């Protein structure tokens, strides 16, 4: 194989496929990037057995062929190059990388040992705007369960119905739901549990395209945007019936300034070193919400926030880390609504905008 390619284009392509480089020392081939050149195109592939990534880019192909070279090493090399064109030449034993006055001779791996890219036939798919979808995933991703012992909770329930897209995530301590209106062809519908980590990773890269296609097979999830394809395993099972978690009534409704609550929470939580509990005391007569935290070794802190209240006095204790995650998700809004039924039932934060957001949080014992 012998090719010439723009350094900027190659660096961008490597930043995408490097997300799929494997780290299993027992399978060194997975630490490589597979490169195949033909018909003026270079196709890059990586796989860590969990995800497969393929990306195509234009290049001057002088000699067709394929190579596998260390993905981390090649990425680091290309990132440091200052020339405009990178020349790559190699076989199944050695790879020569040259750019301007820099030359690198790298060991190669046998392309025949690299896993083939999975074939698939989509059963259901939907094409969505990447900009709005990226914002939605950012709002719910932190709520996904980060331990693979509960794969269902590590996923994001994604539904499209009646031109409304909804994303739902939960780690059993909290629940995040966001939805917005979208335009779909012929009122398309879609329903799948998408792996949260991969979904978030894909959306962080899809800035290179205005649209992203998400599809499923009986065992796979496929993401396609521009010249890039991600394939990963589908999460099997039933997502929890999150609607049953939502309280049927609301005793107290509080409207609070997002920036003010965020700042107060940061100050009060300074003393909550070993105990993440922050108490929220809502007082109707004074139209205030008092945040307080206590630590046997550090002391205590309180702060009053003026709020608009409908309902009656109520007190609830919440994990300040989780409340802070919610504030980050609604940081683009001026106000957030805080709904409560009792101090022993979940508290719900709501925000209404182009993307509607609901964040349910289980209370802590006071």
Question: What's 285's domain CATH number?
Answer: 3.10.150.10
Residues 310/332, Cβ–Cβ less than 8 Å: no
pLDDT band at 23 (very low <50, low <70, confident <90, very high): confident
Query: So what's the pLDDT on residue 12?
Result: 94
Give a yes or no: residue 297 inside a domain: yes
**To the nearest whole number, what is the mean pLDDT of the chain?**
93
Residues linked to residue 35 through DSSP beta bridges, in sequence order: 44, 67
Give a yes or no: residue 119 inside a domain: no
User: What is the percentage of the chain residues whose pLDDT exceeds 90?
Assistant: 84
Query: So what's the pLDDT on residue 300?
Result: 93
271 & 217 share domain: no
236 & 264 share domain: no
Q: Is the pLDDT of residue 95 over 90?
A: yes
Query: So what's the pLDDT on residue 296?
Result: 84
User: What is the percentage of the chain residues whose pLDDT exceeds 70?
Assistant: 99
Which residue, of 178, 209, 242, is where some domain finishes?
242
Give a yes or no: residue 272 inside a domain: yes
Q: Is the pLDDT of residue 207 over 80?
A: no
Residues 172/360, Cβ–Cβ less than 8 Å: no
Task: Give the β-pairing of 41-47 and 51-58.
Answer: antiparallel
**How many structural domains are present in the chain?**
3
Residues 6/85, Cβ–Cβ less than 8 Å: yes
Q: Is the pLDDT of residue 19 over 90?
A: yes
Q: Is the pLDDT of residue 248 over 80?
A: yes
pLDDT band at 115 (very low <50, low <70, confident <90, very high): very high
pLDDT band at 286 (very low <50, low <70, confident <90, very high): very high
d(CA 228, CA 237): 28
Residues 311/253, Cβ–Cβ less than 8 Å: yes
Mean pLDDT, range 144-169, rounded to an integer: 92
Query: So what's the pLDDT on residue 206?
Result: 72
d(CA 102, CA 116): 32
Residues in the chain: 366
271 & 198 share domain: no
Query: So what's the pLDDT on residue 39?
Result: 95
**Helices marked H in 182-319 — which ranges?**
196-205, 258-268
Q: Which stretches does DSSP call E strand in 206-332?
A: 211-216, 220-225, 228-233, 252-257, 277-283, 288-295, 299-306, 308-310, 314-319
pLDDT band at 145 (very low <50, low <70, confident <90, very high): very high
Mean pLDDT, range 61-77, rounded to an integer: 96
Q: Is the pLDDT of residue 11 over 90?
A: yes
Which residue, of 242, 271, 290, is where some domain finishes?
242
Query: So what's the pLDDT on residue 205?
Result: 83
Query: So what's the pLDDT on residue 245?
Result: 87
Residues 240/170, Cβ–Cβ less than 8 Å: yes
Domain span including residue 44:
2-113
Query: So what's the pLDDT on residue 230?
Result: 96
Q: Is the pLDDT of residue 62 over 90?
A: yes
Higher pLDDT, 207 or 246: 246
Mean pLDDT, range 185-196, rounded to an integer: 86
């Amino acid at each position: 194989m012998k090719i010439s390619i723009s350094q900027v284009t190659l660096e961008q392509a490597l930043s995408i496929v490097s997300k799929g480089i494997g780290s299993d020392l027992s399978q060194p081939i997975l630490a490589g990037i597979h490169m195949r050149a033909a018909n003026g195109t270079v196709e890059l592939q990586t796989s860590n057995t969990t995800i497969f990534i393929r990306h195509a880019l234009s290049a001057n192909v002088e000699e067709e062929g394929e190579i596998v070279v260390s993905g981390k090493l090649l990425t680091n090399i290309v990132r440091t190059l200052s020339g405009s064109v990178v020349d790559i030449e190699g076989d199944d034993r050695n790879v020569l990388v040259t750019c301007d006055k820099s030359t690198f001779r790298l060991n190669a791996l046998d392309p025949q040992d690299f896993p083939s890219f999975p074939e698939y036939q989509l059963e259901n798919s939907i094409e969505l705007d990447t900009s709005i979808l990226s914002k939605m995933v950012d709002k719910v991703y932190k709520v996904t369960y980060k331990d693979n012992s509960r794969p269902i909770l590590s996923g994001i329930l994604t539904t499209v119905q009646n031109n409304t897209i909804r994303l739902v995530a939960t780690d059993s301590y909290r629940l995040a739901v966001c939805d917005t209106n979208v335009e779909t062809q012929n009122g398309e519908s879609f329903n799948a549990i998408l792996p949260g980590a991969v979904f978030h990773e894909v959306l962080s890269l899809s800035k290179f395209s205005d649209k992203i296609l998400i599809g499923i097979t009986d065992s796979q999830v496929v993401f396609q945007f521009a010249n890039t394809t991600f394939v990963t395993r589908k999460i099997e099972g039933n997502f929890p019936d999150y609607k049953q978690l939502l309280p049927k009534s609301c005793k107290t409704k509080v409207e609070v300034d997002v920036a003010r609550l965020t700042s107060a929470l940061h100050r009060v939580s300074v003393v909550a070193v070993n105990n993440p509990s922050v108490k929220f005391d809502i007082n109707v007569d004074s139209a205030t919400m008092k945040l307080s935290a206590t630590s046997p070794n550090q002391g205590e802190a309180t702060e009053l926030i003026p709020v608009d209240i409908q309902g009656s006095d109520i007190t609830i204790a919440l994990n300040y880390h989780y409340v802070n995650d919610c504030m980050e998700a609604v940081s683009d809004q001026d106000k957030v609504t805080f709904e409560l039924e009792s101090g022993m039932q979940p508290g719900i934060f709501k925000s209404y905008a182009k993307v509607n957001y609901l964040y349910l949080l289980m209370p802590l014992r006071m």
